[in-house]
Amino acid sequence: KDPEVLLAAWEKAVADHVDARLLMVTGTEGAFIERLKKSATARGIAHSIIWSPIVTNQELPTYFSAADIGVWPGDESAVLREAVACGLPVILPNERSGGHSINHQNVSGGNGILFDRGDVNSLATSICDLIEDPELRNRMSARARVLAEEQFDWRVISDRFVELYGGVCAKNGQQIVDL
């Protein structure tokens, strides 16, 4: 999920923000993490990174609630919407699929920033923008909660599903019975 891009961007960001810390929550351990740690050491940024042990899904909200910014430099993670629900401002790649931004919905409420995937400078700038502007982070945090309630709540999702299913049934001359 492009952790090397994050490390390269962090190298640029921490040069201007020496007190900032990056908490790496990767969900894995072993050779992969050791390779990332060596890369961080080679970049001279190991002192600014806290390496988390594997975190269970039940523990993630605690991490999200304690964080100031969430960064997903590569593929979307299943826990992204949970982070948004915790009020975490997010930085996501502006990937395109069929002409549409895949992550647009995840930041449509003004709760995050999109950057060009793989563009270290764009990601570093996004990180610095949020580090430097706590008021912006606070606004994005508040918007994240609203977005989660309006878009990602299971009641909203189930209502949309019923509406969609009802439309399909209606096209086939059937109807949904309310219980």
Tens-place pLDDT, residues 140-171: 999 988 887 887 777 877 877 778 877 888 88
pLDDT by residue for the chain (179 residues), tens only, comes to 799 999 999 999 999 999 999 999 887 888 999 999 999 999 999 999 999 988 888 999 999 999 999 999 988 777 888 898 899 999 998 875 544 444 666 676 688 999 988 999 999 999 999 999 999 999 999 998 888 788 777 787 787 777 887 788 888 887 777 65
Distance CA 11, CA 59 (A): 28
Hey, what amino acid is at 143? R
Rounded CA Rg of the chain: 19
Contact 105, 94 (CB under 8 A): no
β-pairing, 90-93 vs 70-71, is: parallel
User: pLDDT tens for residues 28-45?
Assistant: 888 999 999 999 999 999
Contact 40, 46 (CB under 8 A): yes
The distance from CA 142 to its chain's CA centroid, rounded to whole angstroms, is 15
Residue with tokens 């019923």: 162
pTM tops 0.85? no
**Residues 6 or more apart in contact with residue 26 via CB below 8 angstroms:** 3, 32, 33, 36, 52
Q: On the CB side of 172, how many CA atoms lie within 13 Å of its CA?
A: 9
Q: What is the pLDDT of residue 105?
A: 67
Q: What is the pLDDT of residue 99?
A: 47
Q: What is the pLDDT of residue 109?
A: 67
Q: What is the pLDDT of residue 129?
A: 96
